[in-house]
Amino acid sequence: MKAVRYTKDGVVIPTSWVKGWGKPLSVRRGVNMVILESPERKASRQRLGRMIQKLRRAAQELGPLTSEQVAAEVAAVRAQPARRS
């Protein structure tokens, strides 16, 4: 941690810490943290967020499930053999 410098503007970290992530990096600042990520990671995170939003929207449109419906879905999934990728 000796390579890290604290300045009045923030924290300066050495570039060797982020080598191998690709040339461009996305830098975001959270409340108590700085998030560094590659463009691929950022795109993947955004894609996941969109999928979660779609799933939540679909779940709202379906309404609450009964315990019988849940049990039937679980049984159907367990009946199918797992696929190998």
65-75 tens-digit pLDDT? 889 998 998 99
Both structure tokens of 18 = 């982020």
Both structure tokens of 32 = 């108590």
SS3 30: coil
Would you place residue 85 in the very low, low, confident or very high pLDDT band (cuts 50, 70, 90)?
Answer: low
pLDDT of residue 82: 72
- Residue 64 pLDDT > 90: no
Decide the pairing of beta strands 26-29 and 11-12.
unpaired
30-63 tens-digit pLDDT? 778 878 887 888 889 899 999 999 999 998 998 8
Complete DSSP assignment for 3-41: T-EE-SS-EE--GGGGTTS-S--EEEE-SS-EEEE-HHH
Single pTM value for the model: 0.51
